[in-house]
Structure 1
Amino acid sequence: MDKHREIGKYISIIQRLNNMFYANRLSSFQIGCGQQFFLLQIFKNPGMNLHELALNGHYDKATATRAVKKLEEEGYVRTEMEEGDKRVRRIYLTDLAKPVVEKTLECVDEWAEIILEGLTGEERQEAERLLIRMAANAHRFNAKQKGKE
């Protein structure tokens, strides 16, 4: 009998608490946990397109589109049509997004400290390494399943 059956439960708990943390901390900017990932990806990769944005976080294109639309409505991003291919929209942050990005980056650090509290430097690195492997396993499994549909 496998004794790791509850690992998904703890991953889910951490994710829900993560969402609550970001929703609370970023509520004054009218964005929540759903947009903060996208905002930071655009900050790190100015000019990326929707397809790249979706791939970066293993989201479907519709989810990325909704997130960008919400960020546009709040005035945090703007999109530009690519010169050579009008179907491609490049995404950039606006000046209005700067304080939001700063606050979001602070939150990223704060949340990491909260969930890693009491762990040694080595344990922190190992936890991240293991989570990266688990995410890759999940992604690989889902990619295989798509081929079976």
Structure 2
Amino acid sequence: MKKEPIGKLISYVHRQNLKILSKALAPYGIGSGGQHSFLKTILQSPGVTQDQLTQLLKFDKATTARSVKQLEQSGYIERRPDPNDRRSHLLYPTPQAEQFHPILKSILKQTNMNLISNLSSDEEEQLIFLLQKVSRQLNED
């Protein structure tokens, strides 16, 4: 088997995973560009700011702004003025998002299960360990 560059393999897996997620989430009005990640974070941390989302998820500000706007237009989140900073808004899930949350978790779980379906539990643990190790290194640089 030809040894391929790690970055190329990670990129390929990422792109394929996003295609699968986009297809599964499209009927719910959730688009690509990581919108599911933003919605999941807002559901888990109601009242988060856009800047906090950018830092937590490691997206650029433009991608965060675009995704937040699309989630708001789709009725999944709402902006409320930050009482401590009038220039900032706090992001909250709507009742629609709360209803969708179990479906989102199920779709993400199934997608992850599909990613590792050919791995043993030991291989899965090793893969997670190694990817976390690489990720930590990238955060230090």
* Structure 2 spans left out of the alignment, 5+ residues: none
Q: Report which of the two has the higher share of strand.
A: 2
Q: Normalization by structure 2: what TM-score?
A: 0.89
Contact 2:38 2:53 in 1 (8 A): yes
Give, in whole Å, the separation in 2 of the partners of 1:72 and 1:66. 10
State the alpha-carbon separation in 1 of the partners of residues 84 and 138 from structure 2. Answer: 36
The residue type paired with residue 69 of structure 2 is K
Runs of 4+, deviation exceeding 3 Å: none
TM-score normalised by the chain length of structure 1: 0.85
Cα distance in 2 for residues equivalent to 1:106 and 1:66: 25
Residue identity over aligned pairs, in percent, reads 28
Contact 2:41–2:53, Cα closer than 8 Å, also in 1: yes
Q: Displacement of 1:124 after TM fit?
A: 1.4
CA change 1:4–1:81 in 2 (3 A) is: farther
Pairwise CA RMSD: 1.7
- Contact 2:72–2:78 (Cα < 8 Å) also in 1: yes
1:79–1:91: 8 Å Cα contact kept in structure 2? yes
Aligned to 2:37: 37
Secondary structure of the corresponding residue to residue 85 of structure 2: coil
Any gaps of 5 or more consecutive residues in structure 1?
A: 142-149
- Which residue does 2:15 correspond to in 1? 16
